[in-house]
Amino acid sequence: MTIVEARADQAAPLVELRGVGRSFGSGRAVTALSGIDLQLPSGDYVAITGPSGAGKSTALNILGLLDRPSTGEYLFDGLPTAALDDRRRSGLRGSGIGFVFQSFHLLPTRTVRENVMLAFTYGGIPRHERSIRARTALERVGLGHRLEAFPATLSGGERQRVAIARAVCTDPRLLLADEPTGNLDRANADAVLALFDDLHADGLTIVVITHDPEVASRARRRVVITDGRLSEIAR
């Protein structure tokens, strides 16, 4: 079993995986993760790398409460998540975790502002605050001038910045990014990574899954998942 110790100063980790495993199917089940231990103190910035099919996305889904581990325990901010029902897990996702996907996942029939405001709908933000907070979040990612544009009219980099604004506008504790620069050119990728640096400087805990060594090098820590097992790469 590989153990990655927390190196941050904070005493209580924001994220703690204890012997987490995940297998799919019954009978000859496929094991995606095998007994992973991981601690992320608040404010950490971790890159998870590894070959395709190694279990990176499975780990991200478990960290984001989108999936449940088959074995082991996941504590989010000290709270054991195994016993949480769908409503409480959804509540934690809505208010505590932000997601950035490789394919952006913007709704094409809604404007940039409305896409960001969708996070508030489920994130517990009062209705009267939503529009102004969406504007502020979009201004933060440099898209204050494209509030009423539709996603189809944006470049890839702009779309990803909208997705980042949507992910962080509810002030989550944890930002999970799955290949956030996978569909972007180098200039746009740099802009997105600069945003991540900025968010990390603000104290946000960030986990990035990536194949890109350049992206991984921006993180404070790097871990690699190979064949469902996790190990840390010393810097």
Partner 1 sequence: MTARRRHDLRIGPRLSGGAASSRAARFDLRDLAAEVLEGVGARPLRLFVSLLGTVVGIGALVLTVGLGQTAGGQLDAHFDRVAAEHAEITPQKKQGADGEERAAAALPDDSADRVRRLAGVLAAATLTALPTEGLRVSAVPVHDPSEPETTPPPVYASSGELVEAIGAHLVAGRAFDAGHDARGDRVAILGSDAAATLGIRRLEAQPSVFLGDRSYTVIGILGESVTEAHLAGAVVIPTGAARRDFPSVPPDLVALHLDSAAGELVSRQAPIALDPNEPDVFTVAAPSRPTALQNEVGDDLDIVFLAIGLITLLAGGLGIANVTTLSVSERTGEIGLRRALGATRRQIGAQFVLESVVVGALGGVIGVALAVLAIVAVSALRGWTPVLDLPLAFGCAGLGAVVGLTAGAYPAAKAARTEPADALRSS
Residues near partner 1 (CB under 8 A): 57, 61, 64, 66-67, 77-79, 86-87, 90-96, 99, 101, 103, 105, 107, 109-110, 118-119, 121-127, 129, 132-133, 136-137, 139-140, 166, 168-173, 199, 202-204
Minimum Å distance from CB 235 to partner 1?
26
Identify the bridge partners of residue 74 per DSSP, sorted by sequence position: 17
Cβ distance to partner 1 smaller for residue 62 or 222:
62
Cβ distance to partner 1 smaller for residue 24 or 186:
24
Minimum Å distance from CB 226 to partner 1?
21
Cβ distance to partner 1 smaller for residue 38 or 141:
141
| Cβ 157 vs Cβ 191: under 8 Å | yes
Minimum Å distance from CB 61 to partner 1?
4
| Cβ 107 vs Cβ 159: under 8 Å | no
Minimum Å distance from CB 127 to partner 1?
7
Minimum Å distance from CB 186 to partner 1?
26
Q: Which letter, b or e, does each residue of 135-157 get, where b requires 16 or more Cβ atoms within 10 Å of its Cβ?
A: bebbebbebeebbeebbeebeeb
Task: Please name the residue ranges forming H helices in 45-151.
Answer: 56-63, 86-96, 112-123, 127-140
Cβ distance to partner 1 smaller for residue 119 or 222:
119
Structure tokens belonging to residue 140 = 């933060």
Task: Please name the residue ranges forming H helices in 111-218.
Answer: 112-123, 127-140, 156-168, 186-201, 213-217
Q: How far is CA 151 from the centre of its chain?
A: 21
Cβ distance to partner 1 smaller for residue 100 or 215:
100
